[in-house]
Each structure stands twice: as C-alpha cells, then as structure tokens.
C-alpha cells in the first residue's frame, strides 16, 4: 500500500538553503507518493529544477506518485525556459 507524504511547499525563490530543505523532504518521503506545491514560486532556479527532475525520475522508477500542484504562472514560465514542460502536463498527477 502506497502512502502519501504531506505536500511540500516550494519557496517563492528557492535559495540554496531552500534546496537543501527540499532535498531533506525528498529523503524523508522516499517511500511515499509526494506532491510539491508551486503556487508561491516567482522564480525556479536551475538547482531546484534539477532536484525536481531527479526526484520525478526516481519516484517513477520505484512506482511511487510524484506531482507538482498549483503551478504559478511564474513557475510555469521557469519550467518552460528550462525545457521542463513535462511537469506542466503532469500537474497534480500523484497517485
């Protein structure tokens, strides 16, 4: 049975410290379906995007749900700029 970790809220602008917190959350929720809320994001830097891409692949390979939810327009623009449109198509799809 798959459990769901509590949703994780991304900061408006992900600093290196915020990326460390995201990494800690991902480690804690390793055996759970996860949802990352993106409604407050005004800019998504490359390091945060890299963490999300690696997490999505890891969760998918292990058969757990992974999704971004409530993607802000600024976050969507950042994802498009970084070539990560696949996150927009899968918004809110954690199982």
What tens digit of pLDDT does each residue of 58-69 get?
999 999 999 999
The total domain count for the chain is 1
Q: Provide the Cα torsion 50, 25, 69, 85; round to 10°.
A: 10
Question: The CATH number of the domain where 23 resides is what?
Answer: 3.30.750.24
Task: Note whether residue 47 is domain-resident.
Answer: yes
Task: Note whether residue 12 is domain-resident.
Answer: yes
Task: Note whether residue 34 is domain-resident.
Answer: yes
Task: Note whether residue 51 is domain-resident.
Answer: yes
- Reported as a single tens digit per residue, the pLDDT across 24-70 is 999 999 999 999 999 999 999 999 999 999 999 999 999 999 999 99
| Host domain of residue 16 | 3-89
Task: Note whether residue 94 is domain-resident.
Answer: no
Specify whether the CB–CB gap between 49 and 82 falls below 8 A. yes
Task: Note whether residue 37 is domain-resident.
Answer: yes
pLDDT of amino acid 92: 60
Task: Note whether residue 13 is domain-resident.
Answer: yes
pLDDT of amino acid 91: 62
């Amino acid at each position: 049975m798959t459990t769901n970790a509590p949703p994780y809220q991304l900061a408006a602008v992900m600093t290196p410290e915020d990326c460390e917190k995201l990494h800690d959350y991902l480690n804690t929720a390793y055996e759970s379906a996860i949802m990352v809320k993106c409604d407050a994001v005004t800019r998504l830097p490359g390091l945060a995007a890299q963490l999300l891409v690696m997490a999505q692949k890891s969760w998918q390979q292990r058969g757990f749900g992974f999704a971004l939810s409530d993607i802000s327009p600024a976050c969507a623009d950042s994802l498009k700029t970084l070539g990560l449109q696949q996150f927009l198509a899968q918004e809110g799809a954690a199982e």
